[in-house]
Structure 1
Amino acid sequence: MDRKRGAYPEYTLEDAIATIFLLRTPLGRKQIAEKLELGEGTVRTLLRKLSNLGIIGSRQRGHFLTKKGEELKVKINESFLDPIGVSVDGWPAFAIIVRKPPEFKSIELRDEAIKFDAKGAMILTVKNSEIVFPEDLRPLKETYPEIVKKLRNYEEGDAIVIAWAETPAKALKAAIHVAVIMKENNLPGELLEVVR
């Protein structure tokens, strides 16, 4: 019986999506591993899978999105936009604008972010062109005006996920996780191939 040696590298759908977002500019495997807090073996496996699916290519300058990868990113952006780095009470955080979300319970989504290593999360909505807490329609700008200044391209009815954590990588993946849960029925099939 043949046995493979060593631990099998594992990555999540959130790691794959984060990698696609990170590859706006070419990056090396080590840079990706550092930004996502993954082992280099895991990143090697993830990059190989993305490459085999034709989503990324590589050159001396690093890995990059192919035409197919760029098209996939456009499809992802139909569900949610690229994460925006922000800060919440000194914690590293990321905000993601989720397009036309289904009905949601912000407490349940916040709990999902926490299960995914976030320290906390806010799930907001856009109402009357303003980012508000859905429970009481209190504007985000009253509490976090600096975050509101960084957010652009949101539309009426969009949701905005903001997750914060001990590290930027954990905050990024927690925010992506909540966006994935909200839009799981709209994710492109080729994206799901990455984790099969």
Structure 2
Amino acid sequence: MDILTIITEATKPRQGNKPKYDESHVLHALLVIQKEQPIGRPTLEKRLQLGDATVRTLLRRLRELGVIKVDKVGGAEITEEGKKALQEWDSVIKIGEAELKSINWDCSMIIVKGGSKILEKQKVIELRDKIIKLGADSVLISVILNNKVELPPKTEEFGMKELLEDIKNSCRLCENNDLITYILPKDLHLAYKVGLLLFENWINS
């Protein structure tokens, strides 16, 4: 089962009731469990900023899907099925923080490895609008092309040098054809929402 299917199944309404968590909570929970396992429910509640009953429901559904196992003493651990599902996400999406001093942004940063192909199917303005609909106040989308930072649809050199340098410095591990998105406010839950949107676009491009 791939990660998008797991997320869809885990967030399906049951008996007409929608869970009190969303798609990005499911993904974030799996990544936290994978990184910090075994992890107890109270710790997971803090990481996800969700209540006890909501996290119980989430863990139960993930266990039913076979992607985690839960020990009453030790806590939650990822299964082999869960690890396999997360492999593609881990290889494509990197989420972090960045400071773009030239425009006074202390922001979240989402890197999509090989993500420039997304812009072959979708205009950058359309992508920016979708990210704003998810809750971002401000969005900056950049790509690495021919070992240079570009700001599509057209990079204007005049007045942009400091910003381009900031982007380059914030993403030292970025490679050709990577897409780097910066968002305000700096919010981890929002960053996962945007990451999921970009991941789905990457899959479909």
What TM-score does the superposition give when structure 2 sets the normalisation length?
0.69
Q: Which residue of 2 aligns with 1:123?
A: 141
Q: Which residue is 1:85 aligned to?
A: 97
Matched, 1:173 2:192: yes
> Could you tell me how far 1:28 is from its partner in structure 2?
3.3
> RCO greater where, 1 or 2, for CA within 8 Å and sep 6 or more?
1
Match of 1:193?
A: none
SS in 2 for 1:143: helix
Aligned to 1:20: 30
Structure 1 vs Structure 2: percent identity of aligned residues? 24
Q: 1:108 aligns with which of 116, 120, 126?
A: 126
Runs of at least 5 residues in structure 1 that lack an aligned partner in the other structure: 187-196
Equivalent of 1:99, from 99, 107, 114? 114
Tell me, in whole angstroms, the C-alpha distance in 2 between the residues paired with 1:185 and 1:57: 31
* Counterpart in the other structure of 1:35: 47
Summarize the alignment of residues 46-65 of structure 1 with structure 2, pairs less than 5 Å apart: 46-59=58-71, 60-65=73-78
For the pair shown, which has the larger CA radius of gyration, 1 or 2?
A: 2
User: Residues 53 and 16 of structure 1: is their aligned pair in 2 closer, same or farther, counting only changes over 3 Å?
Assistant: same
Cα distance per residue 1:137-180 (max 9 Å; x no partner): 3588731645533435433222222222263333x234314313
Alignment pair present for 1:155 and 2:175: yes
What's the offset of the Cα at 1:128?
1.0
Q: For the Cα contact (< 8 Å) 2:42–2:52, is it kept in 1?
A: yes
Greater shift, 135-144 or 82-91, is seen at 135-144
Question: 1:85 is paired with a residue of what secondary structure?
Answer: strand
1:61, CA displacement in angstroms? 4.8
Equivalences, count: 180
Change (3 A) 1:145 1:48: farther
Conserved? CA contact 1:125–1:160, under 8 Å: yes
1:111/1:174 CA distance change after superposition, 3 Å: farther
CA contact (8 A) 1:9 1:41 kept: no
Q: TM-score, normalised by structure 1?
A: 0.71
One-letter amino acid of the counterpart of residue 19, structure 1: A
| Preserved contact between residue 114 and residue 174 of structure 1 (Cα < 8 Å) | no
CA-atom RMSD, angstroms? 3.2
Cα distance, 1:29 vs structure 2: 3.0
* 1:191 alignment partner in structure 2: none
Structure 1 residues 10, 131: CA separation in 2 closer, same or farther (over 3 Å shift)?
farther
Q: Can you list the C-alpha shifts for 1:89-124, whole angstroms capped at 9, x where unaligned?
A: 354413222434332222222222221122222222
